[in-house]
Amino acid sequence: MNTFFVKKINKFLLNFFLKYKKENKYFLKMNKKLSKQKKFINDGVFFSELNELLSRELSDEGYTNVEIRKAPLKTEIILKMTQTHSILGSRGRRIKEINGLIKKRFQFDEKSLEIYVEKIINKNLCAISQAESLRYKLLRGMVIRRACYSTLKSTMESGAKGCIISVSGKLRAQRAKTMKFIDGYIIHSGKPVEDYIEKATRHCFLRQGVIGIKISIMLPWDPAGVRGPKKPLPDVVTVLENKINF
């Protein structure tokens, strides 16, 4: 009797694994036939959800942006931070927690995900960093005008071409209003906006209500591509010197 039941169980397991193998082959074929449109949509959803997750988890550690590099065998995630000691300190405990959280949420394999940290060279030219700095100043109780002007001054002294800071909400009285602080030259439309303008929006929860913060920074032209975009503005006119003929 025992051998009979063993044969039955072996036959059942064999049929089960054969069926599972066929289904896996079918799904692999379906994934290979995934259209480019759906692939771009999936990549965009993954980036937006990952960026939202990291901005909530690492807002106090100076998180600004994320870069994703996909390869056939592994995925590299590069975190762009204003300060790296808080996430890399204490034997890398914090970055290990983030690594495990991303693997669990997006179902990555054990060795298919690597996370790196990159420090921003000039944080005063980063709109997200400046918006977070202004938010903390308002939470500490600093006067709005003083906080905005100090942020505007530090941004312009770092080499920005222009900056706009917009603060809206119940600033002094019960009626909500908007205050704008503008310095320098800034563009608002056209293709160069994608390369030259950095924008960030943050919300500050105070006792009188919610205050919205919007910052737009126009980056300078940098041929090296470190502090700003390499490509110059389309309306820039370069006057060449006359050649001296001997």
Q: Is the pLDDT of residue 17 over 80?
A: no
Question: Cβ atoms within 10 A of the Cβ of 161, count?
Answer: 19
* CA 47 – CA 102 distance, rounded (Å): 12
User: What DSSP line would sit under 98-126, residue for residue?
Assistant: HHHHHHHHHT--TTSEEEEEEE-S-GGG-
**pLDDT, mean of residues 5-28:** 53
β-strands 197-205, 210-218 pairing: antiparallel
Specify whether the backbone of 6 is left (phi greater than 0), alpha (psi in -120 to 50) or beta. Answer: alpha
Higher pLDDT, 244 or 119: 119
Which pLDDT tens digit goes with each residue over 150-207? 999 999 999 999 999 999 998 887 888 999 999 999 999 999 999 999 999 999 998 8
Which pLDDT tens digit goes with each residue over 78-133? 998 888 887 776 777 888 888 888 888 888 887 888 888 888 888 899 999 999 99
Per-residue model confidence (pLDDT) at position 6: 53
Domains within the chain, CATH numbers bracketed? 36-119 (3.30.300.20), 123-218 (3.30.1140.32)
* CA 217 – CA 196 distance, rounded (Å): 8
**pLDDT, mean of residues 21-27:** 45
Per-residue model confidence (pLDDT) at position 15: 62
Residue 115's Cα: distance from chain center in Å? Answer: 14
Higher pLDDT, 220 or 83: 220
132-148 residues labelled b (16+ CB within 10 A) or e (exposed): bbbbebbeeeeebeebb
Q: Tell me the residue type at 34.
A: L
β-partners of residue 198 are 217
Listed as own residue / partner, the contacts of 233-241 with beta carbons closer than 8 Å and 24 or more positions apart are: 233/187, 233/192, 233/196, 234/190, 234/191, 234/192
Per-residue model confidence (pLDDT) at position 73: 83
The pTM is what? 0.73
Q: Tell me the residue type at 160.
A: A
**pLDDT, mean of residues 37-47:** 86
On the 0-12 / 13-18 / 19+ scale of CB atoms within 10 A, 160 is: buried
* CA 66 – CA 202 distance, rounded (Å): 18
Instruction: State the pLDDT confidence band at 30, using cuts at 50, 70 and 90.
Output: very low
The closest alpha carbon to 234, from 181, 167, 189, 180, belongs to 189
* CA 50 – CA 34 distance, rounded (Å): 22
